[in-house]
Structure 1
Amino acid sequence: MNTDPDRTRPIEPAERSGVVVPANLVRYAARWATPAADLSAVVDAYWSVAWDLGDDVVEQRILTMPAVTLSVEEGEVPAPLVVTGVHRHAWQRTITGRGRVFAVRLRPAGLAVLADLTCADVADSTVPVSRSLDTRLFGLLDELARTPHNQRPERADELLRARLAERAPSRAGLLANEVLDVLTAGLHTRTGRPLTEATGRSERAIQRALRSTLGQGPKWVSRWVRLQEATRLLSQHPAPAPADVAHELGYSDQAHLTNDFRDAVGTTPAAYVETLRRLATPDAPATGRTRPAPVRTR
């Protein structure tokens, strides 16, 4: 059983992937795989990467979707089974040698279906998954790791479907899914009354749903999806002016975008654009065998 080629495709640099240097997506052979439709309450996407860097070292910065991600990793990696929580800032991973990853990006409702861990247990961290950490989650990822790489999307469907039959999503989880969909689809959607009108639920219910599944409230989630879109826009060639990005994403002015971007990514929008320009220039000053990160490390 091999993966149906129609359900996989490359992750394009122009997409909203969260990778702060989108050109690296090609180098990592990054691909999406579409989960089965009946799992939409639990999983948002499958993705995979594979790399062979030789002596190079890449300091990869990631501004992910507000989501918990499960991954099976091979090669020169920190751990074979991993759960990555919601991060409040862009986070960094050092990539070396050879390796590959198959990952399951969960919907807000997904973690409670698949694990006994809470979002607070993995917030702002990347945690190796062991039997002692969470028996249920370990069993899922261990089964997936035993599956040949080219069969993992189909096997993930089977494993998630079985666990969904054992434990249904909570009402709070389903509401959190809906709220994230509204905020992701409509980047100008504001929290408060517009969000309650879109979902038909109270502000308090929305707040509780997001806090219990993502560890953050609606204002943070709204801000985060806009920052991910800002990163995508600013990485285009040619890049739009930061003031135009601020206007397009509904910021009151460029200063507000600059402050949010600096807090999340560690640099200003203008400096980020300049760094990407230098990385893309063949005659940029040499820095040895190490590929520079586009932003400072926190």
Structure 2
Amino acid sequence: MSRHGLGRGVLRPGAAAGFLQVRQHPPAPGLAALVDFYWNPRWDLRGRDPYEQKVLAHPNVHLVFEPEGALVYGVQRGVFVRRLEGAGQVLGVKFRPGAFRPFAGGPVADLADRAVPAAGILGTDADEVGRRVLDLDDLPAMAAHADGFLLGLLPALPPDPQVAEVAALVEAITARPQLFRVDELARELDMPVRRLQRLFAEYVGASPKWVLRRARLHEAAARADEGAGIDWAALAADLGYADQAHLTRDFTAAVGAPPSRYAGR
């Protein structure tokens, strides 16, 4: 979590901290290999203008119980924008990287940049579970409903040892934002580049190159949110960029503003 409690990847968290709270809860032990955690954003903008929260998403699929229905969000490769207004909440399920593949029944890349009704993938009970969840305020009770729903789906899922392998690969990448090249990663893993690319398309929903780049941008955005006075040339070198200009191009393309302007607000 960031110092604002909103999580890494949430852009300009200080601007939202006054009206947005994000709680987290672990899944049941039987789901720990598949689900990272449940997340529960709650906002209160009554008497204020609507707010667009921007997020640099992670390489994870999410199931989100929303008032309009339960949705499955594939990996969002651009900046994800959520419009908040009034007061409300959702409950999200953050699947571990690669762990939604058994539920999807096909390549997770097919879900990239999409939000699809969960009923078509997880069954029609998903919307009813969502209604019960969002009627509650107690997070452990909300999580218990989600636990029961997901645990009920597990007996129909065939065992897939590659889920754990892919989760470990992504976690290794995200823990090392200095890693820059896919061929370098493949050499470290003693794995052909083509196999690595196929695994990521099938299980993650984004390419290894995208995951490598997103890990670096998460680190750069987190540093920028700490405020001004950052040595961007040194940070670029720390993150494996050839020079500051390369970092600036990547950051601007993803966030919509150069890092120095983003940090300076």
Query: Normalising by structure 2, what TM-score?
Result: 0.85
* Aligned-partner Cα distance in 1 for 2:255–2:228: 20
Task: Determine helix, strand or coil for the equivalent of 1:13.
Answer: coil
User: Contact 1:41/1:109 (CA < 8 Å) preserved in 2?
Assistant: no
* Aligned-partner Cα distance in 2 for 1:42–1:95: 29
Partner of 1:88: 77
User: Contact 1:14/1:232 (CA < 8 Å) preserved in 2?
Assistant: no
| Aligned with residue 54 of structure 2, among 46, 58, 61 | 61
* Aligned-partner Cα distance in 2 for 1:109–1:176: 6
Unpaired segments of 5 or more residues in structure 2? Answer: none
1:211 aligns with 2:211: no
Q: Give % identity.
A: 31
User: Contact 1:196/1:202 (CA < 8 Å) preserved in 2?
Assistant: yes
Q: 1:175: how far off?
A: 2.7
Report the residue type matching 1:13 in the other structure: H
User: Contact 2:109/2:201 (CA < 8 Å) preserved in 1?
Assistant: no
Describe the shift of the 1:19–1:184 C-alpha distance in structure 2 as closer, same or farther (beyond 3 A).
Answer: same
* Aligned-partner Cα distance in 1 for 2:131–2:260: 42
Task: Determine helix, strand or coil for the equivalent of 1:29.
Answer: strand
Describe the shift of the 1:175–1:207 C-alpha distance in structure 2 as closer, same or farther (beyond 3 A).
Answer: farther
| 1:211-270 CA distance string (max 9 Å, x none) | 112332211111111111211111013552322321222212111111111111111111
Unpaired segments of 5 or more residues in structure 1? Answer: 1-9, 276-298
Q: 1:38: how far off?
A: 4.1
Give the stretch that moved more between structures: 147-156 or 190-199.
Answer: 190-199
Q: 1:182: how far off?
A: 0.6
Q: 1:32: how far off?
A: 1.7
| Aligned with residue 122 of structure 1, among 78, 92, 111 | 111
The 5 A counterparts of 1:140-179 are 140=126, 142-147=128-133, 148-150=136-138, 151-168=141-158, 170-179=160-169
Aligned length: 259
* Aligned-partner Cα distance in 1 for 2:222–2:51: 20
Query: Normalising by structure 1, what TM-score?
Result: 0.77
Describe the shift of the 1:130–1:67 C-alpha distance in structure 2 as closer, same or farther (beyond 3 A).
Answer: closer
User: Contact 2:24/2:38 (CA < 8 Å) preserved in 1?
Assistant: yes
Q: 1:94: how far off?
A: 1.4
Report the residue type matching 1:32 in the other structure: Q
